[in-house]
Amino acid sequence: MFNFSRKAIFIFLILFFVTSCFAFALAEPEFESEECIDCLGCTSFLVGKDASLDGSTMTVHPCDCGTCDFTFRKVPAVDHEPGATRKIYAISQYETWDPEIGLKWDRVLEEKFTGVEIPQPAHTFAYIHGMFGYINEHQLAMGESTVSCRREMQSPNAVMNLTELTRIAMERCKTAREAIQLMGELGEKYGYGLDGGEQLSIADPYEAWHFEIMPVGPLWTPESGEPGAIWCAQRIPDDHISVCPNESRIGEIDLENTDYFMASSNVISYAVEHEYYDPNSGEPFSWKKAYSPWKKSYINPRAWGAYHFLAPSLNLDPMTPNDELPFSVKPDKKVSVKDIMEVTRYHYEGTIFDMTQGLAAGPFGNPNRWRPLNWTVDGKTYSWERPIGTQQAEYVTITQSRSWLPDPIGGIVWIGLGTTDTTCFIPFYAGINEIPYSFQIGDHWTFNRDAARWAFDYADFHVQVKYSYAIQDVKDAQFKWEDGAIANTSKIDKEAYDLYIQDPEKAKEFLTDYCMENAAEVIDAWWNLGDQLLVKYNIGFIYTEDRQRKQVGYPEWWLKAIIEYDNKKTVEEFYNIEK
């Protein structure tokens, strides 16, 4: 299938070195570029089945980018003829096209075929995907976080990329272990590249795993006979949660403990060969120290913040570097899906990182911080804090895999479009036959009232004017629509189950109708919310329902800061008025 000539390899190497600065900027976190910070944005985390209130496993993925595709698709199950093949596409996480020439997935299928095809199984499963595959009909679920790798490990000539690995796993696997094994084998056989070091949170109804995969350098070719990827996976205890904030989380590994570890055959030998690890040092092998040995202050609070939010009794030091934080922790109490939603909205309130306080938050407690996160004044570098969910999020997914229900009913992906604090999580069951058209379209550069994402951006835009006031209006709407959907889940589960016993297809139709109708109502509600916020906080006042206009002044601490910064004079001093 592969036949790379010496000339082709030579041409590739020239192109590689020409483009290496760009590739390394995306992969190497030592760089201070805005692109690097924005690309290394997603936080993922896992909830074990015994750590959750209802017994579900969960994955979480705030998909942070600010320029990436935010559309979703439902891919149907398909039967394949003997000898059928599947094309592999070079899918960049960050590439988009103008909607006038086609949506991302139309362009990918037309323009990004790698020339490589792999055999199809007799049957592939249905699944829902956005930038990655998120949940399939067997409740296999995923989230993602970029973790980077050593710059010399980049391998842009490899065929497999992270998006394709997740989609193929969704098509072919029923369990987390199966998905890890398949993605690892595909990376080894065809080469893993385009992306740098990556992490996936992977769960089925019974287990939750961290999976990390790394490329093996630009000189790898299929003819080498060597694995084209390095990978490792670690399972979290069933009563734990775990967070990945763009830093490798897997440390020391015990490959004899197959209940909790999986890895490629070269997991240690590659590190020894490239002098990333000295087996004679007396030190145990550490995956993250070998392949992703980096620290960055701007991402420190995220893992600590999630642990502090859900397990405050641990009293973890907020200044602990990520690589020294526990791989996973037991929460103080079993967590609900609403708890996880609130974690994604956490701005470290009440801690030393509180983003709603201080001059940077403005007079109305706005936790949003605009890029770049690191900035320099008078030759000194400073940094904004980095929350789990940011204003540049494309969307946030929270999956639930529930073992006590049939797969079409047990699996749910909650999708919140846009930034976490002003969005509304909308449930989509694994067994639905379609997703709303409004979720399949949209682009950052083109306002479109038919695109669901724009309803949430529209409301969010009007929140920024008077954040501390307007966010309360958003919370009221979230309580009605988001909490309402959570409360309604058990009722929908039961109705769907009763239908499933009679006819599984009827259950799927019922779930599809419910999800489509609920999504349509929420989107309408958020367009209306945006209109209401525009009117209520117009020109800096508050216009109340009883036709009163209230003036909202600045807090005294803010006025004092202005006096000091502007060296502002009193009225008497400025106009030279005698008392």
Same domain, 329 and 420: no
522-555 burial by CB neighbour count: b if 16+ within 10 A, else e? Answer: bbebbbebbebbeebbeeeeeeeeeeeeeeeeee
Residue 389 covered by a domain: no
CB 266 within 8 Å of CB 290? no
Tens digit of pLDDT at every position of the chain (579 positions) = 434 443 343 333 333 333 333 333 333 333 333 334 444 578 999 999 999 999 999 999 999 888 999 999 999 999 999 999 999 999 988 889 998 888 899 899 889 999 999 999 999 999 999 999 999 999 999 999 999 899 999 887 899 999 999 999 999 999 999 999 999 999 999 999 888 899 999 999 999 999 999 999 999 998 889 999 999 999 999 999 999 998 999 999 999 999 999 999 999 999 999 999 999 999 999 999 999 987 665 557 999 999 999 999 999 999 988 888 999 999 999 999 999 999 999 999 999 999 999 999 999 999 999 878 888 999 999 888 889 988 889 999 999 999 999 999 999 999 999 999 999 999 999 999 999 999 999 999 999 999 999 999 999 999 999 999 999 999 999 999 999 999 999 999 999 999 999 999 999 999 999 999 999 999 999 999 999 999 999 999 999 999 999 998 899 999 999 999 999 999 998 998 886
Please check whether residues 299 and 160 belong to one and the same domain.
yes
Establish whether the linkage from the previous residue to 372 is cis, with ω within 30° of 0.
yes
My answer on whether 345 and 465 are in the same domain is: no
> Is 557 domain-assigned?
no
Same domain, 357 and 463: no
Does one domain contain both 314 and 242? yes
Structural domain tally of the chain?
Answer: 2
Grouping H, G, I as helix, E, B as strand and the rest as coil, residue 425 is coil
Question: Which of 374, 396, 417 delimits the end of a domain?
Answer: 374
Q: Is 387 a member of any domain?
A: no
Indicate if 272 and 214 belong to the same structural domain.
yes
Identity of residue 136: N
The Cα 205–Cα 189 span in angstroms is: 29
Residues of the domain holding 177: 6-374
Q: Of 374, 392, 426, at which residue does a domain stop? A: 374
Residues 210 and 74 placed together within one structural domain of the fold:
yes
Q: CA 463, CA 457: separation in Å to the nearest integer? A: 10
Which of 306, 193, 192 is closest to 249 using CA atoms?
Answer: 306
Is 301 in the same domain as 437? Answer: no
Task: Please report whether residue 11 resides in a domain.
Answer: yes
Shared domain for 365 and 418, answered yes or no, is no
Nearest in space to 324 (alpha carbons), one of 281, 286, 373, 284: 286
Boundary (domain end) residue, out of 374, 390, 421: 374
- On whether residue 234 sits in a domain, the answer given is yes
Q: Does residue 413 belong to any structural domain of this protein? A: yes
CB neighbours of 119 closer than 8 A, spacing ≥ 6?
Answer: 83, 84, 85, 86
Q: Are residues 243 and 311 in the same domain?
A: yes
Coil, helix or strand for 73? strand
Q: Is residue 435 part of a domain?
A: yes
Same domain, 421 and 534: yes
Same domain? For 369 and 409 the reply is no
